[in-house]
Homo-oligomer: A and B are copies of this chain.
Amino acid sequence: MTITVPGPTLGVVGGGQLGRMLAEAAAPLGVETIVLDPTPDCPAAPVARDQIVGDFDDPDAIGRLADRADALTYEIELADPDHLADASEAADVPVHPTPETLRTIQDKFLEKEMLTEAGIPVPEYRRVDSVADLEAAVEEFGAVMLKAREGGYDGRGNVPVRSPEEAEDAIETVGSADDPAALAEAFVDFEREVSVIGVQGDGEVRTFPVGENVHEEEILRETVVPARTSEAVKERAQTVAREVLDALDGRGVFGIELFETPEGDILVNEIAPRPHNSGHWSIEGAVTSQFEQHARAVLGWPLGSTRQRAPTVSANVLGTVDETRPAELAGVEAVLEAESAHLHWYGKDSVRPLRKMGHVTATREDGTPADVTALLESTRELRDALTFR
């Protein structure tokens, strides 16, 4: 295969921070990016070639994106798989990962079914189509997490249910009693949450080192790489991640969230068919970032090295505010002054409670893997000193 630059133009459904970092990674490769996003001047707009302002499920807008692109992808699960498939066919441009994979992952129940059929370990679960289904699941598992089959993220659409009496209210919260379309998942008593960012290219598969994810209120706060767990667990996580990639169609980066049980087993929690928050560390921490890998993979280009360059921690800058207001982050000087710390501001105009506004990454070239705990603490301190005015 001969690859030439200027390369193909990438059409991306979604222009949030993932689209922004994708455009930043693609430009040096000679690959221009056009994003489709409903918010005028979305985060990716200033660094992308162009933005088409339109909804993620607007077939006309997706068609216009396809007409201007040589390959299609998406940075948000809300992309519409049917319209993507139609636009791909009409404009004769490939879309990756495949709409079929997106359709499966959009539905938490279908995702679990697909994994189970592939023999991949997941927490126990039951499909919930009625209050009675949920009551039965609670009786069986003791306590469950009720999840809307579609549309939930960052814990939204998830409700813990600890007794059959709570079932009816829980169903109302995630959907409607008539058509709950939910999933009940047995609570997993996990030791820690880890993730593997995997890349499926044209006939090749690569994975990044295992990251350890620190969540609070079901929102990712920090990722620590390498994960502070045993080599055996890390190997198991890599094996499971490769099995997941084998079960998925279409090229691209996949964020694979995993539970490590007290026994050292690995269960798949969720899969994102796109670059993932827990892979942001790779921009400074790995030879090739997850964003560059996604561009390479979607285009069918050779994948880059996933080798880790140094122990790395990324810490999310979330909207620590009570209500929405114009975004102005103070205290940045401490990040700028710190040795080996990097600010990533996503360019969002307004800050909302817990909105992802940016992240801070710190590396420690001369450190040992054990030093990542100290690195986690110092990176948290830098992040926590940032305040919204």
Contacts and interface: CB of A to CB of B under 8 A. Distances in A.
Contacts of A132: none
Interface in A280-339: 287, 296, 301-302, 304-305, 307, 309-310, 327-333, 336-337, 339
B327 A6 contact: yes
Interface string A29-52: 110100000000000001111000
Contact of A47 (B47, B296, B329, B358): B47
B30 A345 contact: yes
B337 A5 contact: no
Interface residues of A, number: 48
B329 A28 contact: no
Nearest to A348: B6
B330 A4 contact: yes
B329 A4 contact: yes
A232 interface: no
Contacts of A358: 5, 30
A30 B339 contact: no
Given A4-B389, A345-B29, A340 B302 contact: no
A333 B29 contact: no
A143 interface: no
B28 A342 contact: yes
A295 to B, nearest CB: 11
B305 A340 contact: yes
Contact of A28 (B30, B302, B345): B345
Contacts of A29: 343, 345
Contacts of A32: 46
Contacts of A5: 328-329, 332, 343, 345, 358
A28 B339 CA distance: 17
B365 A307 contact: yes
A164 interface: no
A1 to B, nearest CB: 6
A156 interface: no
Contacts of A333: 1-3, 301-302
A333 B304 CA distance: 11
Nearest to A304: B336
A347 interface: yes
A24 interface: yes
A42 to B, nearest CB: 13
A27 interface: yes
Contact of A365 (B28, B296, B309, B343): B309
A344 interface: yes
Contacts of A309: 309-310, 365
A339 B288 CA distance: 10
Contact of A3 (B6, B336, B340, B365): B336
Nearest to A20: B27
A49 B20 CA distance: 13
Contacts of A331: 2-3
Given A4-B389, A7-B332, A287-B365, 5 more contacts: A3-B332, A24-B28, A28-B343, A28-B344, A296-B336
